[in-house]
Structure 1
Amino acid sequence: MEADAAPSRSIATPLRAAWTAGRHALARAARLALDIALPTLCVSCREPVDGEGVCAACWARLSFIERPYCPRLGIPFVYDPGPDMLSMEAIASPPAYQRARAAVRYDDVARTLVHALKYQDRTDLAPAMGRWMARAGGELLAGADMLIPVPLHWRRAWRRRYNQSGALARSIERQSGVKVRGELLRRVRATEQQIGLSRAQRATNVQGAFQVSPDRQAEVQGRRIVLIDDVLTSGATLDACARALLRAKAAQVDVLVFARVVEVR
């Protein structure tokens, strides 16, 4: 019986290997056919693009924020006012967070990228956007203990199915090695959309909306934290998050976003 069984096993092994190889070949062929039939399009202008989701022309239209900028808020200066010179915004209304940095200005292409990531399930954009953020926030990440994405309320997270800030944070984690700790900060109160609200209304809208649970405060205490979000407009949401973390005895809170609104003067 054993002599009869051996040939069948010897035949079955190469047949199984051949079937597996054939299945993988068919899968590769199917992916290739799909790529040919449905090429990746630039999220901004809809021209075919290879990989990143933004074509070369639209990439060139992104307004990356470079020095000189306010060392506190990261607002770009038109000219170099000298070292350690703060912007008027930082002097008039300093936020709870220590420093803020953004990769790009919130212009037309940046807005399209943010909206695609946030509302159109384009999580494939997060790796490229996260790389640009990691470059812009290198000095913040160098001394950070953890990354915390701005949390969604559970009802909004259920409707949207994912947190765009969390997707960006995970990309930055891969670039920097700084761990994401999204469970430490919670949005305990549902808030209205900030769009269309004044600066004062935005601050009121998010007041008391964020909290570090008492049983997690020891994990925050004494830590240097970088908050991650997609856009910085008035800064009210990020300021409310920073205040919640500082109440939990965080040593320092910085902010890193993909895009920030820059007022034209």
Structure 2
Amino acid sequence: MTAFQTALQVIYPARCTLCGCHVESDFGLCGPCWRDTPFIAGLVCDTCGVPLPGEDGGDAEHCDECRSVARPWSRGRSALVYHENGRKLVLALKHGDRHDVVRPAAVWMARAAQPLLTRNTLVAPVPLHWLRMLKRRFNQSALLAQALARETALPVCPDLLLRSKHTRSLKGLGADARHATLDGAIHINQRRQTELIGRNVLLVDDVMTSGATLSAAAQACFSAGAQDVRILTLARTAKDA
């Protein structure tokens, strides 16, 4: 470590991403916050990534929701349960301008995504409508996708998808209403279509609730010529959380 780096650590000591207490390295969690963060591990639904009871025996398992709802993507994973510290991290990034969350999140997401990745994978974020982008000033899904691409050494296309329809907030809506609201809202950027033809697309979003947004994005990718579509989110809601 250089003297300059040492001086920086003295002036700006590393702090826990969640609680702000001192930690040994930047962009990490302290012991108690790590312990209380609901990382997803073990047996999960192979389609949406939600944790399942039981042990991972190596076979693909599916949750009740994915058994009853037709998903347009083939496989999916998530790094965290959207609960307590998982929810705090997502909201800190999404509404708190906490871009420092992106770096550790990308590490956790890359770990969760390992079963999904192929040499033919193209990473792409779920898009925001331009009016929402003006209000928020950034697309958190694009930040996660770009950081994930760096972590996995995979290509990323930040503007592969466009959101042409300015929809109301999906918060508080049921699954059917969410899907109806997003009908026709997402499409492929025609300037980028050649980049996905015959490719496996990994769609990246911050959180999955009903899967309506990811469904609309996946359908747009398949319509434009993608070979396969898989999904990855920082967090996944779970009914028992």
What's the TM-score, normalizing by structure 2? 0.89
Matches of 2:83 and 2:225 in 1, distance apart? 36
| Number of the residue aligned with 1:184 | 160
Q: Is the 8 A contact 2:72 2:215 kept in 1?
A: yes
Cα drift, residue 162 of structure 1:
1.3
Q: 1:80 to 1:161 in 2, by over 3 A?
A: same
| Number of the residue aligned with 1:109 | 85
The number of residue pairs the alignment matches comes to 237
Cα drift, residue 215 of structure 1:
4.3
Give the unaligned 5+ runs of structure 1.
1-24
| Number of the residue aligned with 2:29 | 54
Q: Answer with 1 or 2: which has the greater Rg.
A: 1
What's the TM-score, normalizing by structure 1? 0.81
3-state SS of paired residue (2:141): helix
The amino acid of 2:181's aligned partner reads: N
Matches of 2:124 and 2:198 in 1, distance apart? 15
| Number of the residue aligned with 1:253 | 229
Q: Is the 8 A contact 1:199 1:236 kept in 2?
A: yes
The amino acid of 1:47's aligned partner reads: C
Report whether the alignment pairs 1:195 with 2:171. Answer: yes
Matches of 1:28 and 1:57 in 2, distance apart? 27
Q: Is the 8 A contact 1:126 1:171 kept in 2?
A: yes
Report whether the alignment pairs 1:139 with 2:120. Answer: no
Report whether the alignment pairs 1:45 with 2:19. Answer: yes
3-state SS of paired residue (1:126): helix
Give the unaligned 5+ runs of structure 2.
none
Q: Which has the higher helix share?
A: 1
The amino acid of 1:108's aligned partner reads: E
Residue among 44, 47, 67 paired with 1:69? 44
Residue among 211, 221, 224 paired with 1:235? 211
Matches of 2:8 and 2:44 in 1, distance apart? 45
Matches of 2:42 and 2:171 in 1, distance apart? 29
| Number of the residue aligned with 1:11 | none
Matches of 2:9 and 2:190 in 1, distance apart? 51
Cα drift, residue 106 of structure 1:
0.9
| Number of the residue aligned with 1:160 | 136
Once the two structures are aligned, what percentage of the paired residues are identical?
36
Q: CA RMSD in A?
A: 2.3
